[in-house]
Chains A and B, each alone.
Chain A
Amino acid sequence: MNPTLLQIDSLDMFVVFTLAFLVILLLLMTMSRQEAKPRIVKPDIKTALICTSCGTKTIREFREGDYISKEADSEKCPRCGGPLVIDAIYTEQLPTKP
């Protein structure tokens, strides 16, 4: 098989190099731009309740109005039916990208 001969004009080459340089510059500029809107991630908040009769701990989603030592009137201990108080309010993991 005969080799294929490709004639390259130096002016074409110059244009290609210059264009490549400009493209790289443009890419760098685009990469350095930050995303315009940060994501707002709401934290997953848990409320830990403790039974004042038997000490059983239960965990549920946080509800507005919860605070430490608040008696959870509408909830009862799943084990003994005793009254529950809020023992802790926390989040397992802090959103890294708000």
Chain B
Amino acid sequence: MRVMLGNLVLQFDEGFGMFLNAFYILLFAILIFYGQRIQFHLSMMEMGGILKQLFFMASHARKTSLDEIKKYSDDPNIEEKMDRLLNSFVIFPESMDPAGIVKKVEHIMNVREARFLEDVRRMITKEIDESRLWNYSNMLEATLVLNLIYKVIEHYYLLAKKTKNFFLMAQLQMIVPLIFNEAKSYLLAIEAFRLGTPIGDTIGPYVVHKLLNDGKTEIIEKKTDYTKDTDLYIAERNNRRIYVIKARGPGGNVGKPGEAIKKVLSRAKKSNEKIAGIIMIDAALKLEGEKTGTVAEGVGAAIGGIGVEKFKIEEAATKYSVPLYAIIIKQSIAEAISTMKKEIVDSTSEVIRRIDRILNNELEEGSVVIAGIGNTIGVP
């Protein structure tokens, strides 16, 4: 066979066609019998790379947290104490008989929260203010999550590798990009908690703080620690009595807003005071196509977390027939747990405008409960 390429003539011998066919048949056979194995090895290499990155993130988080805490501690066993904390766990109550499970979950979580904070306190040997201690507790929680993500992904990677299970590796490969993004968010969160800056989730407490200090609200009384780590402000705005609830800051803390709302409604009922509505302000996860800082309104209890506080708010609102209004500020998971973005800060005036509109035009006569939900880090 001859092929003319300009001035060049390529002359193949008679066996060329035969060898070309043999090559394709060989290639086909390789892909038929070893295609999945090749794919498995490709996936394994990709997962190995991601696992290395996760390990780096977990190690970086641990080192950052350790270096930060060492500024306030000369305990020689600090690393051991920290590792014990980072490997701590929570066993959730049995749910075979779900009646009364909320109380059990609440109890377990209260014990866990108190123990975690006390463990952080025990690591500190020098004088430290309470806000910083809370921030360090949040920082270590984020470090714990990163450590956990790494360990779980490593577990499935090693399991798939050990059993040569292509489908397990493929499942891991499908889910890892989402988990990896979450891990990156936690890495940013550690920096925010270390510095004590407001995070995206702080928008709820930030809005109510602004509402109380914009010159249009007259604060009558502040009740510090109205419920655990939660403050209540009794105030007047637009000729209406308002009860403003937010976690106690400026340390990183979410408080117990559910318990506080329940207490306000119960006391109002006892004193025959009418509560016309509850307005909850919280950060909410946006869909990919939505803009950060978009404000939306709806009904229901706008509160995340494990569900205990949400349950209490819904139960109290139903018991006393109080309408629940929700205003949410949209953001991604990364934005919610890292230093607040300008777009989120800029949404504050819009949220306050909407609160005023609800107070003036939409609710019946009576007092109103306004709750700023979220981590109050950086906001007193």
Q: Chain A interface mostly helix, strand, loop or mixed?
A: loop
Q: Which of B12, B46, B197, B334 touches A62 (beta carbons < 8 Å)?
A: B197
Given A10-B15, A28-B42, A89-B198, also A98-B342 (CB < 8 A): no
Contact B60 A40 (CB under 8 A): yes
Q: Select from chain B the residue with minimum beta-carbon distance to A43.
A: B339
Per the 8 Å Cβ criterion, residues 66-82 of A in contact with B are 66-70
Per the 8 Å Cβ criterion, residues 187-230 of B in contact with A are 187-188, 191, 195-198, 206, 209, 213
Given A13-B20, A14-B19, A37-B56, also A89-B197 (CB < 8 A): yes
Contact B10 A89 (CB under 8 A): no
Q: How large is the interface on A (under 10, 10 to 19, 20 to 34, 35 or more residues)?
A: 35 or more
Q: Select from chain A the residue with minimum beta-carbon distance to B51.
A: A34
- Cα–Cα, bound, A43→B341 (Å): 10
- Cα–Cα, bound, A69→B60 (Å): 32
Q: Is A42 an interface residue (CB 8 A)?
A: yes
Q: List the A side residues contacting B378 at CB < 8 Å.
A: 66-68, 89
Q: Is B18 an interface residue (CB 8 A)?
A: yes
Contact A4 B8 (CB under 8 A): yes
Contact A91 B213 (CB under 8 A): no
Per the 8 Å Cβ criterion, residues 276-301 of B in contact with A are none
Q: List the A side residues contacting B342 at CB < 8 Å.
A: 90-92
Contact A21 B42 (CB under 8 A): no
0 or 1 for each of B1-39: is its CB under 8 Å from A? (1 = yes): 000100111111111101110110001000000000010
Contact B22 A14 (CB under 8 A): yes
Q: List the A side residues contacting B338 at CB < 8 Å.
A: 43, 91, 94
Q: Is A25 an interface residue (CB 8 A)?
A: yes
In the assembled complex, the CB of A25 is this many whole angstroms from the nearest CB of chain B, namely 7
Q: List the B side residues contacting A6 at CB < 8 Å.
A: 8-11
Q: Which 9 A-B pairs have the closest CB atoms?
A: A34-B49, A67-B250, A10-B15, A10-B16, A10-B19, A91-B339, A14-B19, A32-B46, A68-B379
Contacts beyond the supplied A14-B22, A33-B49, A45-B197: 12 A-B pairs with Cβ under 8 Å? A5-B9, A8-B12, A10-B14, A17-B20, A34-B46, A37-B53, A37-B56, A38-B53, A43-B338, A66-B378, A69-B380, A91-B340
